[in-house]
Structure 1
Amino acid sequence: MKRSLFILLFLILQQAYAQQQIKGTIVNGADLAALENASIVLLDSDSIMRYFTRADQQGKFQWNTIKSGNYIAIVSYPKFEIYSQSITVADKPLQLDSIKINSQSNLLEEVVVNQRIPIKIKGDTIEYDAGSFETEKNAKLEDLLRRLPGLTVSATGEITAQGKSVSKVFIDGEEFFGYDPKIAIRNVRADAVDKVQVYERKSEEAELTGIDDGVRLQTVNVVLKEEARKGIFGNADANIGTHNLFDANLFAAKFNKTERIGLTGNWNNMGNTGDASRIRMNNQIIGDPMYKNAGINYDNNFLQRKLQLNSSYNFNNRSLDNESESFRTQTLNNGITQETTQESRTRSDNKNNNLRAQVRYRIDSLSNLNIQLNGGIGSSASENISRSSTTRNAAFLANDFDRNNSGERNNENIDLRVDFRRRLNKNGRSINLHMNTHVDNSRATDLVDELTNYYDSLGMLNRSVLVDQTRLTDNKSNRLSGAINFSEPLSKQMNLTVGYSINSSSRTALINAYNNTDNGTVSVLDSLYSQNQLDAAINNGFDVNLSYNTEKVNINVSTKATYRYQELTDTYRDINLDRNFWQNNINANINYRISNSRNLTLGYQNNANVPSFAQLQPLQPPTNDLFRQLGNPDLKRETNNALNLNFNKFSLMNASSFNINASTNFTNNAIVNRSIIDSSGRTTTSFVNIQDFVNWNARINSNYTKPIFNGLVQFGPFAALNFDNNYQYINGELNRANNTNGNLGINANKQSSKGVDFNFNLSLGLNNEANSIQRELDNTAFRSSSNADLKYFLPYKFSLTQVIFYSYTGKTKVFPEPIQQFYMNLELTRKLLKSESLLLSLKAFDVFNSFNNINRSSSNGSFSETQQELLSQYLMVGLKWDFNKNLGKKND
């Protein structure tokens, strides 16, 4: 590992050498007057911008560190001709003669020059020019996103943009395999991309109704080149390995202007969802898994682009046979601790079919219709065999518990949404009608065999409880909602929307728990574990939304007042409840475009959350004898107030980006769980409002990205600070828990397909925990994480990829030993064929068999440590074929 890091550092440092200085002056060709602020750009042989600067008051410009090579210098100045010149940077400083450019008024012919700017800010959208960022041949969209300032892509494919997690990835404004955005970033070719746009969009509900709900979703939209919107492309790969491992993947797509068809398929026994043998991923195999997946995506426009269809279907089958061990300790009051150890074996098999379709129809120039249909059918089977024991103060046995359960489930759901929008006059007055219905049904049969033994203070068996049942579950729910909204422009900058909505929902939950008998007689219904529940709710809401938009400022304020009536009955428990609540939601967002390169966003949200049926009902049916959940019919609503701020800045002169986002949230009258554990280890839990204290938290994150070493490396430090102040109950006592987390780190990325390419991430952090009770458990722990993947380009089309991961989790008062995790993966590849589209690979995972699979977690006075059956060291041989027919190729 040290050797690899040394090589990485050496390769970065060597870029500082073989560099020279360039000087020059820009003047008016007519009178030789200096042209202040003239733009000077150096492009490499691939027309990718490498250097950028501006002339000073004397028209002079200077670069001090220009890497040797051939370049094209382009000089531009408003209302002057565009000047270009080929230059060669060798082994000595270069002094250019005075560059004379002429005013366009003196030109006899019109000159048209296309100049590429790598980053632009358009309102609240950040736009990257894909051609300005170099990637390897046959690279995918994922590789391109790693190169863009302000964006990061984790080893598992999660995207972060300007410090926020990306929830949607669009291709030309449309979802492509919307059920899994990773499919798009791992398969769309980087050389087919023209631009990448990053922005925050409103929720789908707000976009369709015009009423802002305060939800903002970080979104990436990939704009394809015009010539890349027609053609066939995809890839297929197969891998086999030791321990009978295999992984097969197929992706194929056909683009034809407006029509897009995509197919995907995965099959592996490694547990991951597609492309399981990726060398970058943490490929520890848990238990004995099997995963199958097949999907299709179809998009097209019909009726002269009046009708748009976006649809997808997906089938997946995931099964797992696993063994695990866990240890959990809970700190109770009066110096008492409770320790639980468990060994378990689980089996599961889940099958799901999901269909998604959206139709957008432009009826005429004034009317639009939007229809969305989502549906799913699924089934599952499971088995759980486990044994656990609980002690007090690591000395006195409180109980032991044996379980042998199995079950089968079937479910189906369908959701239909219709939105109609019509413009009523030329000034922009419009009406929006909305209807939504959702139906969800599930059935289950569970065989339950559980034995609980309780012991007295001397460790003698006190009593035993046997639960031997067949439980039949039948749940049905449906929801119907509608809304009407009117929008009226008050001026050119201001718009008002008012609306009314109604929502009706009902649900039946039937659980018949029959005690099994040995003599084969009719089973008897056990009312304690059974349920015959009906709940219903009606919401009536009024909405007001006011927006103000100028070139610099966008302001949006909305408020919604909702009256909710809900009732619940359960004939098995003689429960008959009805409650009513007022809910108020206020959302305000201000976006201020300070300049073309700086943007500031402020947001405020206020909302009220009413207690759920599960929290209100006096008693829920238990699942085993060790746990009871009580409700609280007297619960009140809780209110949340949230503030958030985001600032981003881009410098076009050095292609750097800076982003900072901060948020804070306050919850009054918070609904929290109050659990009490008795001397036998039984837990009884209920819900209460915290009326005298406020739960709150604060977050701040920042990151900075800048190209260094002549743009060869994207370098980015980042920092984060989180604080939580929460009031929770520990065994019936109110505890104030303060948690502070600080984190510092750096990212570095190089992709030039020469020498060594790399992605590197290093993070260092501290975690401090402080409590108002049980202060002896207050703790400060250090943690760190680093991962790097280095790709060495070798002769004869060979390459070697090295993935290194290391993490350290410090010791705590409960766990006095720290956890260190380390693994290294290697992949040797050879490109075949003239097009280099065929790739042969040999992969070695966890070369030193050093990965530690212990996981720890803590919450509200409870600390747990788990360890699972795991395979981390294995070898695989694979063959991958990238195919591309016409995609991205311009016609003559």
Structure 2
Amino acid sequence: MRPLFTCIAFLVAHLALGQTPVSGVVRDSASGQSMEGAVVTFVDLGGKDSTRTLTDSRGRFFIHREAKGDFVLMFSYVGYQTRAYQYPASMQTDVGAIDLAPFIVRMKDILIESPPIVLKTDTIEYRASAYTVKEDATVEDLFKKMPGIQVGADGSVTAGGQTVTKIKVNGKDFFGSDPKMATKNLPADIVEKVQVIDEKSDQAKFSGFDDGQRTKIINITLKKGVNGGYFARATAGGGTDGRYQASLTANRFNNDQQLSLIGNSNNINSNLFSFNTPGLSLGMGGFMSNYMNTMSNTGGANSLTNMANNGDMGFMSAGGNSNQTGVTTAHSGGVNYVDQWGKKLSVYGSYLYGYGSTVMDQQTAQQYFFPDSTYYRNQHQHTRTIQQNHRFYLNIEYTIDSVNSMKISPVLTYATMNQDNNMDFTSLDAQKVVSGGGIQAYQGSNSSPNLSGTILFRHRFERPGRTFSVNANLGTSTTSEQDDNLTTGQGVVDSLHQHYNLHTRTSNNGVRFSYTEPLSKDKSMEAYYLYNNATSYNDKRTYLVTDTGSFFSPQLSNAYTSHFITHQAGLNFRENKKKYNYTIGFGLQPTSLTGGSDLKDTLPATAQSRVNFLPQATFTYNFARTKIFTFRYNTAISQPSITQLQPLADYSNPLFITYGNPDLKPQYTHTFSANYNQFNLGTGKMLFTFLNASIIRHRIVNNTIILADTGQANRPQNLNGYYNVNALYVFSEPFKHRTWVLTFIGNATYTNDVSLVQNPDHASFVSSLPSTGHNWVVFQSATVEYYRKQWLELTAGVNYTGNWTHYALDTMGTGTFSTWAFTQTGRVDFLKTFSLNYEFRYSLNEGLQAGIGKNIALMNVWLEQRVLKRKGVIRLGVNDLFNSNASISRTSTGTYTQDVQSSVLNRYVMLSFAYKFQKFKGIQKTVKPRDGVMVMPQ
């Protein structure tokens, strides 16, 4: 029936308009697939009639013409050979299939490359040479040009709204799991392409079945010529107020062998090292650090925070991280090694050392909402933190024979932290009349060695698709901590001086067996079983310090052990078609949670057993090469921490007393996500969309009651009703061969946050009332970029962030916060060797609480001159020209809103010199980018 309707439509059009329709289909000669977006140009040789159209999603085109004479049809597509055919005037209907061949055409000094973006099932691939960056740019600068990738002021990287946890180079880990090591140390001009990947676990990649363990990573593929050569860059500089910087980066590439060295020392917040070692924090003392750690542990602070002056995540790249809180002196160094030892053994790993000393001042304004009242708390704190970190990563991949292989990945870290914190606070009632206050002085130090690793064995049977694999994970860590905390205040406590020693020990060991069986050509099944045993031990000894000495306090001391054992068995079914694939499965998980005190026999023990049902599903549909839709559903269980389970009052911070709850159940989380990506190869227009939703049963929240006017008591408790929905889109379109680029980014998040608040008639945990906070965070930005050949680059943007919180109990009020940010950056090269650069941002903040700054004007300016045959760069720069930089954040939860203003690095002038050494065999240097076409010398 469909061909009949098509013929009738052509006939009606011909009779009605007096035109002869011409149609056909454009295909890829290699794959035979139809090509959407191919350009079809019609030229009438007997007259002046000329028109142009694009093929549809099936590669078809239709052109209506007046029958004057012979005509020519020209077919073109970016990255393919252009073809032209002449037809007689009598040609009236279908010209048939036109096959276009991919090409690399060399005409003297011209090389035409592939499209700038390629979409795959789990991967978005960018061609690096399609994006204009300044000379001597780093990978971080390149990422900022790529739509869908954002670089934060602290160097963190997000893609499609998700945090990038690792960056690989040529498929191998680069300095472990710290993305900044690659983004800040590798030059952009050696990059061939950038791949953003939703990476499965090693076992899932081998078996073909998604086990739900996915991480967002980026793989950087280097240009072929880089595999035989080296790159090095050294920088040194000094400035006003004693500011300095010195760094060295060296990379050597020799076929399969890669060797990278880095070194860095500065006091301008240019941190090449991330100090967020798992398990290491000083959360026992300090007013805000203790409270926020307590809240995050119990789930009470898992709401959305927006940075008022960091709305544009890619802003401030002049030198250092201008928006990083506090002022940091950092020293770091490391080595990364990749090699192929023979045909069967691949080895890659790294060692890193980092030292950081940070001084920070913070102003915090909090408003707490309760059914019958509200109250405020303001505090100022000064903190100095010193951290040291050693990290060693190693990956060994051994191919035993043609059907067996093994991967061993050990990780060893050792970290230390010392912190001094001095804070003064004031409490105010609903009329903002001072009702209490005090001071707190804290000193603490800890150390934490951690050893973990995985062992993966893989076996392929003779029948294709039949596999067996075993994946074991082993981990152990210990932390030793000493703290001294003096609190003086009104209301709850007049003066309390404590010293405590804390020792924790955790182990997490498990194993997973997987067997896959092909059922047909495109169907397969997986059966799996896993076992995991997590043990935690927490021993805290508290001493009360008085004028007469130090005395052990049995009431404030405890030693507690918990065991969490899980078994899980499940089945997964997968079907893989040409246009789509899907996986559905489920697992049954019996769990056992036990715990008890080693010091206090009178405390109740924990003993829980349950069976969880864990379904999962994934679905991917390829509408075309440039249009992909993916849906995922997953479930997960997370057990309470040992500090949440032990039934003891923790007075480490007497202003925020915490109680454990041995009856806590594990949280059960449902997660739904979907994304749709499309890219037009003809125009360069792209659209990325992402939708995520999560529902948590038995969510662990804080049950909060007020103690007099200066403190709180918190007890974790399970509560249902929490859910979160997040939607993101990125739209970008280039014009005039990427001379202009217009980009829109939008993000909206709704959180239904549940909590428990004090009953106005009775201040006890058992009588608390459920409360719900409805929180909206909306972000929208628009950016336009302009490039004039290689010498001029201008960007201008505006973004808006709104944060609205409404509480179900009307008596608890509402909270509103918004910020407008206007940005403008520029670079102009002149007199052949000079370059002027600037970055400007103005933020307008509304809805902040008293005492928190509102509007911020931030500008960085620097002038560069290239010397010594353009291998050296002299830079004179001014950071924070107006001396007004600040960091402001808003947090909203089910019971309170909080505004925090943190000190940052303000104005200084820096003069520096950088010199690069570079030699690669056969590497090609980009000289003129165009949309989808790259001109390069040979």
**Which of 794, 805, 815 is residue 758 of structure 1 equivalent to?**
794
Q: Given residue 789 of structure 1, which amino acid in structure 2 is its aligned partner? A: T
* 1:804 and 2:840 are equivalent in the alignment: yes
What's the counterpart of residue 232 of structure 1?
230
Distance 1:878 1:700 in 2: 43
What amino acid is aligned across from residue 40 of structure 2 in structure 1? Answer: R
Q: Which amino acid aligns with 1:128?
A: Y
Question: 1:818, 1:385 → 2: CA distance?
Answer: 22
Alpha-carbon distance, 1:737 to partner:
1.8
Which residue in the other structure is 1:347 paired with? 384
Alignment partner of 2:189: what SS? Answer: helix
Alpha carbons of structure 1 residues 318 and 148: separation in structure 2 relative to 1, 3 Å: closer
> 1:747 aligned to 2:798?
no
Which of 296, 300, 303 is matched with 2:342 structurally?
A: 303
Q: Of the candidates 307, 316, 331, which is equivalent to residue 369 of structure 2? A: 331
Q: Distance in 1 between matches of 2:121 and 2:814?
A: 47
* Alignment match, 1:168: 166
Q: 2:419 aligns with which of 354, 359, 382?
A: 382
- Uncovered stretches (5+) of structure 2, i.e. residues with no partner: 1-20, 29-36, 54-72, 85-96, 275-315, 759-767, 925-936
Structure 1 counterpart of 2:540: 511
Match for residue 595 of structure 1? Answer: 624
1:588 to partner: Cα distance: 0.7
Distance in 2, Cα, partners of 1:322 & 1:156: 15
Q: After superposition, where does 1:454-603 map in structure 2 within 5 Å?
A: 454=491, 464-516=493-545, 518-519=547-548, 523-574=550-601, 575=603, 576-603=605-632
Name the residue aligned to 1:194: 192
**Relative contact order, CA 8 A, sep 6+: which one is greater?**
2
Contact 1:38 1:75 in 2 (8 A): no
User: Is the 1:149–1:714 contact (alpha carbons within 8 Å) kept by the matching residues of 2?
Assistant: no
The aligned amino acid for 1:614 is T
Kept in 2, the 8 Å contact 1:149–1:706? The answer is: no
2:218 to 206, 217, 220: 220
The alpha carbon displacement at 1:498 in A equals 1.0
Q: Kindly tell me: are residues 839 and 887 of structure 1, through their superposed partners in 2, closer, same or farther at Cα, counting changes over 3 Å?
A: farther
Q: Is 1:499–1:542's contact at 8 Å kept on the other side of the alignment?
A: yes
1:619 to 648, 654, 659: 648
1:142 partner SS: helix
Q: 1:786 to 1:387 in 2, by over 3 A?
A: same
Q: Which amino acid aligns with 2:615?
A: I
Pairing partner for 2:695 from 666, 674, 685: 666
Matched ranges for 1:690-709 at <5 A: 690-691=719-720, 694-709=721-736
How many angstroms apart in 1 are the aligned matches of 2:136 and 2:389? 33
The DSSP-based 3-state class of the residue aligned with 2:184 is: helix
Any idea what SS the aligned residue of 1:144 has?
helix
Which of 781, 784, 794 lines up with 2:820 in the alignment?
784
Paired residues, number: 802
2:441 aligned partner = 404
The 3-state SS of whatever aligns with 2:600 is: coil
SS at match of 1:55: strand
Aligned residues of 1:561 and 1:584 also touching (Cα < 8 A): yes
Q: Which amino acid aligns with 2:233?
A: N
Which whole-Å CA distance do the structure 1 matches of 2:653 and 2:852 have between them?
34
2:745 is the counterpart of 1:713: no
Is residue 917 of structure 2 the alignment partner of residue 872 of structure 1? no
Corresponding residue of 2:61: none
CA distance in 1, matches of 2:812, 2:498: 44
- What is the CA distance between 1:745 and its match in structure 2? 1.9
With over 3 angstroms needed to count, the CA separation of the structure-2 counterparts of 1:186 and 1:411, relative to structure 1, is closer
Change (3 A) 1:803 1:368: same
- Counterpart CA distance in 2 for 1:381 and 1:264 is 25
Q: From 474, 485, 490, give the equivalent of 1:453.
A: 490
Measured against aligned partners, the alpha-carbon deviations of 1:654-695 in whole angstroms (never above 9, x if no partner) come to 11111222222223343321101132433121223335xx22
- Whether 2:116 is the aligned partner of 1:116: answer no
C-alpha distance in 1 between matches for 2:757 and 2:74: 69
Task: State the one-letter code of the partner of 1:116.
Answer: E
Q: Kindly indicate whether residue 41 of structure 2 is the aligned counterpart of residue 55 of structure 1.
A: yes
1:254-293 alignment, distance < 5 Å = 254-274=252-272, 278-279=317-318, 283=322, 289-293=328-332
Corresponding residue of 1:358: 395
Deviations 1:827-864 (A, max 9, x none): 11111122x12111110122122335554444333233
Q: 1:426-445 alignment to 2 at 5 Å?
A: 426-445=463-482
The aligned counterpart of 2:301 is none
Using the TM superposition, give the Cα deviation of residue 146 of structure 1 relative to its aligned residue in structure 2, in angstroms.
3.6
> For 1:884, which of 905, 911, 918 is the aligned residue?
918
3-state DSSP class of the match of 1:491? coil
Give secondary structure in 2 for the equivalent of 1:819.
Answer: coil
Does structure 2 retain, via aligned residues, the 8 Å contact 1:284–1:872? no
Distance in 2 separating the partners of 1:124 and 1:439:
33
Return the letter of the residue paired with 1:843: G
State the distance in 1 between where 2:187 and 2:782 align.
28
State whether residues 212 and 558 of structure 1, in contact with CA within 8 Å, keep that contact through their aligned partners in structure 2. no
Q: Give the corresponding residue for 1:129.
A: 127
1:517 and 1:818 map into 2 onto residues whose CA distance is: 40
Q: Where does 1:31-180 land on structure 2 (aligned, <5 Å)?
A: 53-56=39-42, 116-118=113-115, 119-180=117-178
Q: Give percent identity, aligned residues only.
A: 22
SS across alignment from 1:187: coil
Distance of 1:324 and 1:147 partners within structure 2? 33
Query: Displacement, 1:38?
Result: 7.8
Tell me the CA shift for residue 150 of structure 1. 3.9
Conserved 8 A contact 1:473-1:511: yes
Instruction: Tell me, in whole angstroms, the C-alpha distance in 1 between the residues paired with 2:106 and 2:524.
Output: 40
**1:124-165 superposed Cα distances (whole Å, 9 cap, x missing partner):** 433333344444444333343344444444454444434544
Q: 1:818 to 1:186 in 2, by over 3 A?
A: closer
Which residue is equivalent to 1:676? Answer: 705
Deviation at 1:300, TM superposition (A): 0.6
Q: What is the CA–CA distance in structure 2 between the aligned matches of 1:111 and 1:863, rounded to whole Å?
A: 61
- CA contact 2:421–2:443 (8 Å) conserved in 1: yes
| Cα pair distance change 1:499/1:659, threshold 3 Å | same
Between the aligned partners of 1:778 and 1:391, the Cα distance in structure 2 is 18
What's the CA shift for 1:301? 0.6
Structure 1 stretch displaced more, 764-773 or 527-536? 764-773
1:502-558 Cα distance to aligned partner (Å, 9 max, x none): 1223222111122345456xx532022211112222221113222221221121223
Measure how far apart 1:880 and its partner are: 1.3
| Most deviating of 651-660 and 354-363 | 651-660
Compared with structure 1, are the counterparts of its residues 104 and 851 closer, same or farther at alpha carbon in structure 2 (3 Å cutoff)? closer
SS at match of 2:143: helix
Give the alignment's TM-score, normalised by structure 1: 0.83
Q: 1:477 to 1:129 in 2, by over 3 A?
A: closer
Q: Secondary structure in 2 aligned to 1:586?
A: strand
Is the CA contact 1:37–1:55 (under 8 Å) kept in the aligned structure 2? no
Give yes or no for contact 1:39–1:54 (8 Å, CA) kept in 2. Answer: no
Letter in 1 for 2:743: G
Counterpart AA for 2:733: K
Identify unmatched segments of 5+ residues in structure 1.
1-32, 41-50, 65-73, 86-102, 455-462
1-side partners of 2:126 and 2:362: how far apart? 46
SS at match of 2:643: helix
SS at 1:634's partner residue? coil
- SS of the residue aligned with 2:182? helix
